[in-house]
Amino acid sequence: MNHCLICGQTGNPMIRIYDDNGQLHIGTEPEPDMKTVSVCQNSACLMKVKKAHILEKVFQRKIPYSFYQSMLSNLTEPSDSRSGLLGLGVRSRKVVPGFTAVEIAARRNQLSLIILDEGAKPTLQKRIQGICGKYRIPLTTYRGDKSMDTVVGKINCKCAGVKDPGLANILSRQFADRGSEKRTS
């Protein structure tokens, strides 16, 4: 039985990355003679693989960013994977928490997405919407099981800016899905 290269667990659903004559592929069952790496299908393990350049070390070559994006699209986590990704983004400095940090990063053209907590005060909502309009940054609403300040690790944090375009794309899709779930129930 395969175990995760990062956490060592065997019971979780795995992504298997394999080398087929110089081409890297993501799949479930590669051929037995191929060099294979197994990683849990959760954001913590997948982000560690990317951040530590583990695939580059294992396969001894440069791994394109698009390959990591396709890996992250295979996430199968419990209902609140959005919070996990947002917290990991803060720890990897791909997400800036708090209004001042968001405002500065927006002025520097560093943001791909702004996330606003659904419980934010109207004045903050108006200011964030103004920043989004002025700098043409997409805006999404945070609807998580945990409060946003708990997830990002900053007291009274009601907004965050996402610098990484790939992470911004995943988070905006996931928060949009979460919003439609809430509206239909």
Q: Tell me the pLDDT band of 78, cut-offs 50, 70 and 90.
A: very low
Shared domain check, 141 and 175: yes
pLDDT in tens, 131-184: 999 999 999 998 877 778 777 878 789 999 999 999 999 888 888 765 533 333
Domain count, the chain: 2
110 CB burial (10 A radius; 0-12, 13-18, 19+): middle
Shared domain check, 141 and 86: yes
| Sequence-ordered list of residues with C-beta below 8 angstroms from that of 90, at least 6 positions apart, any chain | 96, 97, 151, 152, 153, 160
Shared domain check, 111 and 68: no
pLDDT in tens, 99-109: 999 999 999 99
Shared domain check, 153 and 91: yes
Shared domain check, 177 and 102: yes
Shared domain check, 91 and 27: no
Q: Residue 168 sits in which domain range?
A: 81-184
